[in-house]
Amino acid sequence: MSPGEYHTHRARGTPSKVRGKARYTPQVRLTPDEVQFISRKIVKTLVREGKLEVDSAARVEEAIGKVITDELMVEERLNEEVRDVLVQHSNEMQRSNITYTEMFKMVKKKLAKEKGVIL
């Protein structure tokens, strides 16, 4: 592996960097510890830069963690809806010779637009 290249747990949907570009699997899943770490980092950075004043960093970290988790759940629910649609149309997909991945992306994009979900 050359410098700047690393691989992580792709099965869990975490980033994999190859040749300077981050790639994510379709379902990015963060553990509660990862969400907590990100939330803590956001608060510490904003406080350090003087962009945020808090009376309770823990309370703000918890609120940010909830927002992150809620947003991830929106996408997870959308993914589940896409999977349901694809199951209903599996015969059509086979006849049209389109891959599951291609159809998943197309349906997800369409449903996200219809629901106003920003991906």
- pLDDT of 115 reads 92
Structure tokens at 72: 């991830």
- pLDDT of 4 reads 38
DSSP 8-state symbol, 10 = G
- pLDDT of 90 reads 84
**Separation between Cα atoms, residue 113 and residue 117, nearest integer Å:** 6
Give the start-to-end residue ranges of the domains of the chain.
Answer: 1-29, 31-115
Q: Per residue of the chain (119 residues), give pLDDT as tens.
A: 333 333 333 333 434 333 444 443 445 578 999 999 999 999 999 999 999 999 999 999 999 999 999 988 999 999 999 999 999 988 888 888 888 899 999 999 999 999 998 88
pTM of the complete model beyond 0.85: no
Alpha helices for 3-118 (secondary structure H) = 32-48, 57-88, 90-96, 100-115
